[in-house]
């Protein structure tokens, strides 16, 4: 997906109880931390395992939030299926930084990026139902997304067969 100049603008979204944190583009220097943060939750099936090579190849699709010491507190990524379909993936916030609104900031940043890139819709597969429903997503079903089932069937049957996981979708204004 070609880069859009507006993608380079960081977004700052104030939220209660913390100094304003900024959602930023990721750089290749962030690759080890991004892979480690994503893979922290992979054993529980909450994220798909990612190698550092995968993250490096897709670095333009990642967004992150840093602590004051520049370490990564949270991340999210877009995974394109077609010019009209993209998935929000690798949403992860360090346990010590959870419940402070970072997850919501990252979801909003990913939705904005998908909108800037021209996708009419973004979807995600997650256990975090209240979180996605509170961010303008509506619950849908995997059966409406055969591309998702086909792509991940060979990687992680556990994700598509996890009965507690839901698929959420959000329409994006043009």
Can you give the binding site for ligand COA, defined by CB under 6 A?
A: 41, 46-47, 91-93, 98-104, 124, 126-131
Tokens of 156: 């992680």
Residue nearest to ligand COA (CB): 103
CB of 169 to ligand COA, least distance (A): 13
**Alpha carbon separation from 79 to 13, 82, 119 (Å, rounded):** 23, 9, 12
Least Å distance, CB 159 to ligand COA, is 10
- Nearest distance, CB of residue 16 and ligand COA, angstroms: 10
Contact 10, 105 (CB under 8 A): no
CB closer to ligand COA out of 6 and 134? 134
Please, which residue, 119 or 166, has the CB nearer to ligand COA? 166
Yes or no: say if 5 and 49 are a contact pair by the CB < 8 Å rule.
no
Closest CA to 128 of 74, 82, 84, 165: 165
Give 31 or 109: the residue with its C-beta nearer to ligand COA: 109
Q: How far is the CB of 2 from ligand COA (least distance, A)?
A: 26
The answer to whether the CB of 107 falls within 8 A of the CB of 88 is yes
For ligand COA, which is the closer residue by CB, 70 or 99? Answer: 99
Entry field: residues in the chain: 174
Q: Which is nearer to ligand COA, 112 or 124 (CB)?
A: 124
CB of residue 133 to ligand COA, shortest distance in Å: 9
CA-based nearest residue to 148, from 120, 126, 123: 123
In angstroms, rounded to a whole number, what is the distance separating the alpha carbons of residues 55 and 26? 10
């Amino acid at each position: 997906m070609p880069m859009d100049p507006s993608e380079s603008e960081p977004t700052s979204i104030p939220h209660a109880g913390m100094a304003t944190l900024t959602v930023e583009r990721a750089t290749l220097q962030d690759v080890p931390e991004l892979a480690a943060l994503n893979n922290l939750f992979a054993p529980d099936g909450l994220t798909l395992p990612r190698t550092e090579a995968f993250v490096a190849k897709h670095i333009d699709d990642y967004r992150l939030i840093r602590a004051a010491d520049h370490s990564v507190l949270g991340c999210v990524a877009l995974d394109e299926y077609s010019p009209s379909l993209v998935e929000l993936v690798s949403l992860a916030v360090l346990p010590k930084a959870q419940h402070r609104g970072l997850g919501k900031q990252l979801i909003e940043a990913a939705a904005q990026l998908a909108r800037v890139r021209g996708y009419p819709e973004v979807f995600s597969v997650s256990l975090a139902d209240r979180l996605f429903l509170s961010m303008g997503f509506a619950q849908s079903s995997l059966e409406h997304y055969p591309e998702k089932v086909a792509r991940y069937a060979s990687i992680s049957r556990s994700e598509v067969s996890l009965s507690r996981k839901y698929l959420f979708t959000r329409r994006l204004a043009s």
